[in-house]
Amino acid sequence: MRSAKELQRLMQWHYASIRLPRLGRPLAWVTSGAPVELLRAAGVVAVYPENYGALCGAQHQAVALCQKAESEGYSPDLCSYARTSLGSVIAPESAPLGGLPRPDLLIACNNICSTVVKWYETLSDRFQVPLFVLDLPFIHDRLTPAMTAYAVTQLRDLVTFLERECRRKVSGAKLGEAVRQANETVRLWTEIHELCQAHPSPLNVPDLFVNMAPIVVLRGTASATRFYRHLRDEVAERVREGVGAIAEERYRLLWDNIAIWHHLYRLFNYFAEQGACFVVDTYTTAWSAEIPRGDLLESLAEAYAGVYLNRSLEFRARRMIDMIQAYDVSGFVMHGNRSCKPYSLGQVETRRLVTEMTGAPGLLIEADMCDSRAFAPEPIRTRIQAFIETLESSGREMRGEAQGERR
Amino acid sequence: MAKVGMQDSLRWLDDPYADWPERFPGRKAIGYFCSYVPLEILHAAGLTPVRILQLGSTAAAAHAHFPAFSCAMARTALERLVSSQLGFLNAVVFAHTCDTMQCLADAWRMVDSSQRVLHFSLPTTLDAAGSVEYVLNAHHQLLGELELLSGVRVSEEALLASIALYEERRRLLAELYRARESLGAGELWRITVAGLLMPVEEHLTLLGRAISSLSDAPARFGTGPRLAVAGTALHDGSLLELIEELGGQVVADNLCTGERAFQGQVDLQHHSDALAALTARALERPICPAKHKVGQEAAARILELVRSSRADGVVFVQPKYCDPCAFDYVPQRKALEEAGIPHVVVETETGACGAQARTRLQALLEMLS
């Protein structure tokens, strides 16, 4: 894709810029679900250990770093982003890019998992720097006024924390601008996803996994918005010209969970060889919540408490059912990710419900997002093969005329 | 060792759920998982809280619903639900703790929609701005849902009466734990865990009996190395018995099936009402590893446990796939090493301990002897 070069330049610029002199601006390590708009308004330089973990996983560097963490006593059963990150802190000389620059602050929001709280406690202890935990209650049923009030009170406290640590006021104008940029980015990212409803789909899920980096690490900046505008234009052009992501789209599938970074292309190419394209997924679409209008802190509270991983298994099953219908999906693959309990525990139940409601069969494969030691290629290939045969025998292949109609 | 002879009368702990309704007839049972659930409110609503533990289950292979990389407590609980062993519970209360319990709460209602699930939405950060108001609201919310469930309007008087019973239990348990060195850790574990599964009134009788027989028995002060046991829930007392069999003394623990289950008092004098006082206890108790609180970091917690009990060594009980425990272990181990306190880790999956645990404990005790 044309935008691949732009993406590469953008991410290289990001990882280079965080090492530049910051003229008094503190650098924070931030979890992927934290309200970064407040940090941008405070002038904080935000870096994302989870994105760094994905990068190490994709470059096949994560296992060596995980082993460094394990040699200090961290269990190999813990999240591999956390182990990779801790390994890069223990042995920066063996880490890609020499690890991340030392943080001045740590901001962890538990709307994606509880692991980040423990992981960032560990970082705070190691670096002896302040940690702010933003505690957003999990939504089993609905977001209650008490939950919103609790979140808003903490967001106010976060503002106070940032103003103290940055020795400057959090500017309302800058916050408004960061929110406007974030919303614009989210709208473009959503538009890009929706373009994949076309037959054939202009993108396959590895394209989405690779292109999601800026929405995580540069959300709320003009450079992210610019990148997604170009990407949207390119994807729209592919749809107009009927260019599909894979050679022959026979099956349209949904992917659930974080990518298996160390086998990203090998795994999805294997599907693609058999005509299976992943047209939608539950992970890259998780960054699709716009911050609603109204009181800014209340809006941030609602948007960040309502993220996909902070919602119930039933909510997620309903979301998958909606996606299956909207994207004309005939089957789904779930990654039982040893590293991510909140994403993976309960997949047996969501699979059952989704299949009951849609008739689409689901395949559950156990692996790990970064730790390739937990990946068994041959048994997984066999199971994928059997799954494709199921799709074929149940007549869930795309019909030619349907492809033509929907293009 | 002073034996109070509870082992035979508490044999039902080997499989506590199978005949619970027959054992405690006329009681309306409500299940719960976490020691943060305010039992006083459940009791005031006319319900008998029954903690769901791994007791009597070795369902290490039970991962039809949850994957093998989840803790055995969650897997065995789901297995019990599926096999209708928990049908006698009128509802189950989940307090927000770790990722696994969060998923279990959702899976519970998907696996068996006939059983009511109530959520006690406890924060992770117990000293966050706004946490007092939020936890107070969570108590009110839970009370409202329990009233709907039981059809009983719970008065302040009823809450105060229930609090009095549980405060009495905490007092008696504390008394018993002060005598732990002569009572025996396995026995103490049984008596404590029995209380998590039986009506509080009957548990008070049992505690009274245990205390009086203790005072009749000749006191025996141990001479072996003094060990503290650190972890979360201990689903089997055999590890504690093994420590004693090998010549050690268990002098302290921070388990939620042990000392931590009843630490902290309900201070009615300094709070406006029962729920405000319960809220304060929840926020001020020593924390579970899944919680976050400034001043109660992992290293500080283990050093305090050792300091307050004058322990010579520490036994970490690590349930396999328990992330909060696994994260805490590293700074705790480091803190102990810096303080010159020997320690071992015993990883548990079914609760019972095997040959590896024996070897490790032997090595620790030899080091300390």
The complex's ipTM? 0.95
Distance from CA of B369 to the nearest CA of A (A): 26
Residue B218 pLDDT > 60: no
Count of other CB atoms within 10 angstroms of residue A229: 14
Q: What is the pLDDT of residues B282-331, one digit of tens each?
A: 999 999 999 999 999 999 999 999 999 999 999 999 999 999 999 999 99
Widest pairwise Cα distance in chain A:
65
User: Is A314 near chain B, with CB under 8 Å?
Assistant: yes
Widest pairwise Cα distance in chain B:
59
Q: Which of residues 107-126 of B touch A (CB under 8 A)?
A: 107, 109-111, 119, 121, 123-125
Taking alpha carbons only, the member of A256, A257, A252, A255 closest to residue A272 is A252
* CA B258 – CA B240 distance, rounded (Å): 11
The answer to whether residues B244 and B315 touch, using CB atoms and an 8 Å cutoff, is no
User: Is A153 near chain B, with CB under 8 Å?
Assistant: yes
Q: Which of residues 175-234 of A touch B (CB under 8 A)?
A: none
**What was the pLDDT predicted at B182?**
75
* CA A121 – CA A107 distance, rounded (Å): 10
User: Is A74 near chain B, with CB under 8 Å?
Assistant: yes
Distance from CA of A131 to the nearest CA of B (A): 10
User: Is B295 near chain A, with CB under 8 Å?
Assistant: no
**What was the pLDDT predicted at B185?**
92
* CA A349 – CA A313 distance, rounded (Å): 8
The answer to whether residues A28 and A47 touch, using CB atoms and an 8 Å cutoff, is yes
Q: What is the pLDDT of residues B165-211, one digit of tens each?
A: 999 999 999 999 998 877 889 999 999 999 999 999 999 999 999 99
Q: Residue A382 domain-assigned?
A: no
Residues of A in contact with B70 (CB under 8 A): 341, 345
Q: How many CB pairs under 8 A join A and B?
A: 151
Distance from CA of A165 to the nearest CA of B (A): 17
Count of other CB atoms within 10 angstroms of residue A122: 24
**What was the pLDDT predicted at B144?**
98
Distance from CA of A400 to the nearest CA of B (A): 38
Q: Which of residues 359-388 of A touch B (CB under 8 A)?
A: 366
User: Is A164 near chain B, with CB under 8 Å?
Assistant: no
Interface test with B, best of A114, A297, A352 (most B CBs within 10 A): A114
The answer to whether residues B45 and B152 touch, using CB atoms and an 8 Å cutoff, is yes
Retrieve residue B83's tokens: 């096999």
**What was the pLDDT predicted at A400?**
42
The answer to whether residues B38 and B31 touch, using CB atoms and an 8 Å cutoff, is no
Nearest residue of A to residue B136 by CA position? A146
Q: Residue A269 domain-assigned?
A: no
**What was the pLDDT predicted at B352?**
61
Tell whether omega for the bond before A200 is within 30 degrees of 0, i.e. cis.
yes
**What was the pLDDT predicted at A262?**
97
Residues of A in contact with B73 (CB under 8 A): none
Q: Residue A43 domain-assigned?
A: yes
User: Is A149 near chain B, with CB under 8 Å?
Assistant: yes
Q: Residue A361 domain-assigned?
A: no
User: Is A339 near chain B, with CB under 8 Å?
Assistant: no
The answer to whether residues B159 and B41 touch, using CB atoms and an 8 Å cutoff, is yes
Q: Residue A64 domain-assigned?
A: yes
Residues of B in contact with A153 (CB under 8 A): 128-130, 133
What is the CATH number for A92?
3.40.50.11890
Partners of A337 in beta bridges? A367
**Domain range for A114:** 23-166
Per-residue pLDDT of chain A (407 residues; tens, 9 = 90+): 899 999 999 999 999 999 999 888 999 999 999 999 999 999 999 999 999 999 999 999 999 999 999 999 999 999 999 999 999 999 999 999 999 999 999 999 999 999 999 999 999 999 999 999 999 999 999 999 999 999 999 999 999 999 999 999 998 999 999 999 999 999 999 999 999 999 999 999 999 999 999 999 999 999 999 999 999 999 999 999 999 999 999 999 999 999 999 999 999 999 999 999 999 999 999 999 899 988 999 999 999 999 999 999 999 999 999 999 999 999 999 999 999 999 999 999 999 999 999 999 999 999 999 999 999 999 999 999 999 999 999 887 764 434 444 43
Residues of A in contact with B134 (CB under 8 A): 137, 146-147, 149-150
Retrieve residue B37's tokens: 């659930």
Q: Which of residues 52-81 of B touch A (CB under 8 A)?
A: 64-67, 69-70, 74
Which residue of B103, B123, B297 is in closest CB contact with A346?
A: B103
* Number of domain units in chain A: 1
Q: Residue A140 domain-assigned?
A: yes
Residues of B in contact with A79 (CB under 8 A): 323
Q: Residue A227 domain-assigned?
A: no
Residue B326 to residue A75, Cβ atoms within 8 A = yes
Residue A346 to residue B123, Cβ atoms within 8 A = no
Nearest residue of B to residue A315 by CA position? B106
Q: Residue A3 domain-assigned?
A: no
Taking alpha carbons only, the member of B107, B86, B104, B85 closest to residue B96 is B104
**What was the pLDDT predicted at B219?**
54
Residue for token pair 């292309």: A265
